[in-house]
Structure 1
Amino acid sequence: MKNLRNLLLFSTLAAAACNSGNRQTSAEDSTAIKAIDSAALAQDISVLASDEFQGRKPFTIGEDKTLEYLTKRFKEIGLQPGNDTSFLQEVPMVEIRSVPEGDLRIAGKTGELKLTYLDQYVAGTKRVQDRVAIDKSEMVFAGFGIVAPEYNWNDYANLDVKGKTVVVMVNDPGFYDSTLFKGKTRTMTYYGRWTYKFEEAARQGAAGILIIHDVLPASYGWPVVRSGWSKPKLDLQTADNNMSRAAIEGWLTQESAKKLFQLAGVPDSVMDQAKHPGFKAVPLGVTASLALKNKTRKSVSHNVAALLPGSERKNEYIIYSAHWDHLGIGEAVRGDSIYNGALDNASGVAGLLQLATAFSKLKEAPKRSILFLALTGEEQGLLGSEYYAAHPIFPVKSTVADINMDVLNFFGRTKDITIIGKGQSDLDDYAAKAAEKQGRYLVPEANPSGGWFFRSDHFNFAKVGIPALYPGSGTKSLAHDSLWAPDHAAAYGRDHYHSPFDQMDPSWELSGMVEDVRFLFDVGVTLSNEDKFPQWKEGSEFKSKR
């Protein structure tokens, strides 16, 4: 792979955006706004996504290089350490590398099914033990694996799964039926997330849980699952070493699940039955056996925090967040094993640095303080933001908002800008005004059934009541036809996302990234100079937290 940090690339990318125009009509001084430019974004992305940083996985030399680079950049910008005298917040984690001792063996009265690791199933554990196993564990198909009283849904009703292995489907019933959950707007609830399903299985006392993969309701293909589970997994350290979790957590391919049902003598139409109210869990009459050998290592990763103190209300804080981590070195694909994470999320961190630069160049300092927060462990389950939310540097009640960046626009300027979770909070109103200044408008995410609002770090801020804004790229290209933006987004998801091919590309049109970061700058400037706190809107599940 070529090292892309060179002046020729910077010049190429800058030229691509130099004539992008400026629809921003903010009264803020132009020096600050113009500090956000394509050449600076390209330089930071190229450094962070270079092979030298080895995919920026926590606990690796890639973390060391990332922390050094970000600390240096924030100092150059002129910001203060965000955590007392340090730019770093320690995040205690544990790394677990799980290796199956053999196939996943499923035994029934009529035979045995042997499933191959990575090709047909993946599995791991959160338990900090040298070895975990399920041995002839009874298997139960438990529908979606959801307990949701507010939706009158309980897949575990009258079901004892202690010591058993549950098999469940991804997403929630609203994906299939508009009358169920948030199906009217095709919006996934948190009950549809795989993280919830693992948590609920543990609460129910299950020894193992396997989620059936399906491309559309999961919103990603099996290669994404495979690549994510082929590497060591990280988690936050806990007092009980996660012994309260199921011993085995994993996924089955759709084809493997059908073979499982065939062995059990259960028609795979049972998955359709599970989509309707009143479904009862089905004991499968087969058992699962699997053992994992684990190598565990406890260590400390880090969030990076830089502060620009406010001029009047220093004890009120606006957070800009972006995760710095990616997947590190993993399974080789076409000879490349470094998962560089250029868009995911070197682009967001580059945006964070450009925002810090712009705020530092304002003629008048913002009245409220601005915290620029580069978070660790997002790819491992939003760990850095989870830790910050539980151990905030600054009080939650004094935090005005979180504005999160994750995978920025790489295909040019757009007429619109996507707000993921649109309708959740008053921040939408601030975003609408900022977009209008650029001659743009807001749209909701195209596929809310993908559960995107639960898939980046802003979610952990929302869970503790802090209004969170999570913008995505626009969908209507300003310079190209109507398929340009969605086709580029789809190609990224198909060919680059969570693969070694998420690399810096000279063909990117960074004019859209520039405009989107300037949009977020406008939102933050407005918030920073007010004295009111944005609130959650009626109907938001987070309203009661504020």
Structure 2
Amino acid sequence: MKRKLPGIRPTLPGARPAAMRVPVRVRLWVPLLALAASPAGISAQAGTGAGAATITADDLRFRIGALAHDSMRGRATPSPELDKAARHIARRFEEFGLQPADGDSYLQEYPLTASRAGSPGRQSLEIVGPGGGTIDAADYLPVPGGRGQAAGPLAVVTPGGADPPTGAVAIMRVSSDDMRWGLESVRGILDGGAVAVLLALDVADDYFDGIRRFYARERLSVGMPEELGAPVALVRTHALPEALRAALASGAGTNVWEATVRTHSEFREERAYNTIGWIEGSDPDLRGEFVVFTAHMDHVGVGRPVDGDSIYNGADDDASGTAAIIELAQAFASLETPPRRSLVFMTVSGEERGLLGSAWYAENPLFPLGATVANLNIDMIGRNWRDTVVAIGADESTLGATLRQTLRGHPELGLETIDDPWPEENFYFRSDHYNFARKGVPILFFFTGTHEDYHGPNDEPDRILYDKTARIARLIFHLGQSIADAEERPEWDPAAYRRVVEGGGGS
């Protein structure tokens, strides 16, 4: 996800078009009552000047109910239902008077590739030499992304050792603890002259079977996945000739065996959308800087039935955050005078498949990341405590102090914020703010934790605490307004910047 990706030509925000509209190609009727516009009396119209008062529990109940309706079939990436959600949100942005972020479109399209391991009949490993033969399929597992057939002398390689002879099939011993490192080493070994790479694993049956199940699932990547250009596979050490096992254990090179490696992967091109609208700031000196509000509109789709229910609705994860983004867009659009800095409202796709939509945006921003002063990300704010929200990243920048000041100024919200109480879960890396943080944008991630219905079919709209969700959204409104109106932009804590941006790690 972090490599430079080919993409849409970046577009800088320009003047508001005379007629803001969703282009014909995306202006498709959604044949679902669940995605109708909010009825009169529930949603205030833009221009009322009501601001945070437009964010109501009733509005959120309607919006979450629409996004997490059974007819939306869990909004998987990619799916027709997720596309409907993206277009629905685009229509709301148009109704509120937001400007489309990408020319005349509220939708930022990006390419995806779905890949999976191919037919077992087209995959094999044969070793010629003392004790050699065809390796049993139960002990051999091609790595998705490797393609084709290669043959050559088998050469043992070791970490930090010399490159294999050009034209050799490289084999390297890897433990279960070294799997990630081993896979990351493959590119360098191939660039060093190998025609194929074998990673020899000494692992238990259930571990190897788990990898097989993982590789059998379809995986998504942004753009085209890196083409390995050669076969790459895992082989269990016990299936190798005894003398070869000894050579691997000692790290000794060998020219005794030859290997023929065949792999096969299947690829399918897809696409998905981020929905993005913006409000130009009122200050001529600051409107070229941006506060970005994000939430992910996708969920995990249709899955294993539980008590007869196979639709994983994703009401909390993350229809709650997506609905909050819609409410925030409407609230800011209702102000007679916008804040000084410009505001960007973004619902991304592909979060559940690896933060894909926000990764694409981070490499292909429609608003300069260097001028993006803050990202306020909202993911799962509808369950658990009634008066508490986790603010991840509050200790990384002056945004934490601004948040505390905002809370003191709005006691009517009845909220308190706390630091991440689950650091072992690595939530910092698991939502879309991370792709902004790694690019140097100060972030706050609002989150109220997982629960027994997390990624299950019981994450339904009737389990959301709507009053609490509305109060959190109003807090984010007031916070965003403070950031957008401040004289100075937020500043990183130097140690956090070194860790997150320069070092590539989270808090």
Does the TM-score normalized on the shorter chain lie above 0.5? yes
Match of 2:430 among 436, 455, 464: 455
Output the CA distance in 1 between the equivalents of 2:458 and 2:233. Answer: 27
Q: Is the 8 A contact 1:166 1:201 kept in 2?
A: no
Change in 2 beyond 3 A, CA 1:427/1:290:
farther
Output the CA distance in 1 between the equivalents of 2:252 and 2:475. Answer: 53
Change in 2 beyond 3 A, CA 1:158/1:59:
same
The match for 1:408 is 381
Output the CA distance in 1 between the equivalents of 2:399 and 2:153. Answer: 48
The match for 1:319 is 292
Output the CA distance in 2 between the equivalents of 1:91 and 1:362. Answer: 32
Q: Is the 8 A contact 2:34 2:67 kept in 1?
A: no
Q: Is the 8 A contact 1:465 1:543 kept in 2?
A: yes
Change in 2 beyond 3 A, CA 1:473/1:368:
same
Q: Is the 8 A contact 1:419 1:444 kept in 2?
A: yes
Q: Is the 8 A contact 2:442 2:490 kept in 1?
A: yes
Match of 2:74 among 41, 55, 59: 55
Match of 2:355 among 382, 387, 392: 382
Q: Is the 8 A contact 1:405 1:470 kept in 2?
A: yes
Unaligned runs of 5+ residues in structure 2 are: 1-31, 43-47, 191-195, 241-247, 254-258
What SS class does the counterpart of residue 55 from structure 1 fall into? helix
Tell me the CA shift for residue 167 of structure 1: 4.7
Tell me the CA shift for residue 55 of structure 1: 2.6
- CA root-mean-square deviation: 4.8
Tell me the CA shift for residue 92 of structure 1: 1.9
Change in 2 beyond 3 A, CA 1:107/1:61:
same
Output the CA distance in 2 between the equivalents of 1:422 and 1:397. Answer: 20
The match for 1:351 is 324
The match for 2:486 is 530
Tell me the CA shift for residue 394 of structure 1: 1.2
1:296 aligns with 2:267: yes
What SS class does the counterpart of residue 307 from structure 1 fall into? strand
Output the CA distance in 2 between the equivalents of 1:290 and 1:337. Answer: 40
The match for 2:3 is none
Name the amino acid aligned to 1:73.
Answer: R
Output the CA distance in 1 between the equivalents of 2:433 and 2:126. Answer: 43
Greater Cα shift, 95-104 or 77-86 = 95-104
Output the CA distance in 2 between the equivalents of 1:544 and 1:107. Answer: 44
1:75 aligns with 2:61: no
The match for 1:31 is 50
What SS class does the counterpart of residue 495 from structure 2 fall into? coil
Tell me the CA shift for residue 60 of structure 1: 2.5
The match for 2:218 is 232
Q: Is the 8 A contact 2:312 2:458 kept in 1?
A: yes
The match for 1:96 is 115
What SS class does the counterpart of residue 372 from structure 1 fall into? strand
Change in 2 beyond 3 A, CA 1:159/1:490:
farther
Name the amino acid aligned to 1:522.
Answer: H
Tell me the CA shift for residue 414 of structure 1: 2.4
Change in 2 beyond 3 A, CA 1:395/1:6:
closer
Change in 2 beyond 3 A, CA 1:30/1:362:
closer
The match for 1:310 is 281
What SS class does the counterpart of residue 288 from structure 2 fall into? strand
Change in 2 beyond 3 A, CA 1:202/1:365:
same
What SS class does the counterpart of residue 463 from structure 2 fall into? coil
Q: Is the 8 A contact 2:293 2:344 kept in 1?
A: yes
Name the amino acid aligned to 1:308.
Answer: I
The match for 1:479 is none
Change in 2 beyond 3 A, CA 1:471/1:115:
farther
The match for 2:45 is none
Output the CA distance in 2 between the equivalents of 1:421 and 1:213. Answer: 38
The match for 2:5 is none
1:435 aligns with 2:454: no
Name the amino acid aligned to 1:242.
Answer: E
The match for 2:462 is 506
Change in 2 beyond 3 A, CA 1:538/1:74:
same
1:125 aligns with 2:96: no
Tell me the CA shift for residue 422 of structure 1: 4.2
Task: Give 1:230-309 correspondences, 5 Å limit.
Answer: 231-238=217-224, 242-244=226-228, 293-309=264-280
Change in 2 beyond 3 A, CA 1:414/1:165:
farther
Tell me the CA shift for residue 334 of structure 1: 5.8
Q: Is the 8 A contact 1:96 1:233 kept in 2?
A: yes
Q: Is the 8 A contact 1:95 1:232 kept in 2?
A: yes
Match of 2:390 among 418, 423, 426: 418
Q: How many residues align?
A: 431
Greater gyration radius:
2
Change in 2 beyond 3 A, CA 1:314/1:338:
same
Tell me the CA shift for residue 202 of structure 1: 4.0
Change in 2 beyond 3 A, CA 1:307/1:294:
same
Task: Give 1:112-151 correspondences, 5 Å limit.
Answer: 125-126=144-145
Change in 2 beyond 3 A, CA 1:65/1:209:
farther
Change in 2 beyond 3 A, CA 1:528/1:507:
same
What SS class does the counterpart of residue 287 from structure 2 fall into? strand
What SS class does the counterpart of residue 491 from structure 1 fall into? coil
**For residues 372-415 of structure 1, what are the alpha-carbon distances to aligned partners after superposition, in whole Å with 9 as ceiling and x for unaligned?**
01112222222211221111111122111111112223134124
Change in 2 beyond 3 A, CA 1:98/1:510:
farther
Counting aligned pairs with the same residue, the percent is: 27
Output the CA distance in 2 between the equivalents of 1:374 and 1:229. Answer: 29
TM-score for both structures, normalised by structure 2: 0.69
Task: Give 1:9-20 correspondences, 5 Å limit.
Answer: none
Task: Give 1:168-247 correspondences, 5 Å limit.
Answer: 199=184, 202-203=187-188, 205=190, 207=197, 231-238=217-224, 242-244=226-228
What SS class does the counterpart of residue 513 from structure 1 fall into? helix
Q: Is the 8 A contact 1:159 1:281 kept in 2?
A: no
Q: Is the 8 A contact 1:33 1:358 kept in 2?
A: yes
What SS class does the counterpart of residue 267 from structure 2 fall into? strand
1:342 aligns with 2:342: no
Tell me the CA shift for residue 515 of structure 1: 2.1
Name the amino acid aligned to 2:452.
Answer: A
Change in 2 beyond 3 A, CA 1:249/1:352:
farther
What SS class does the counterpart of residue 315 from structure 1 fall into? coil
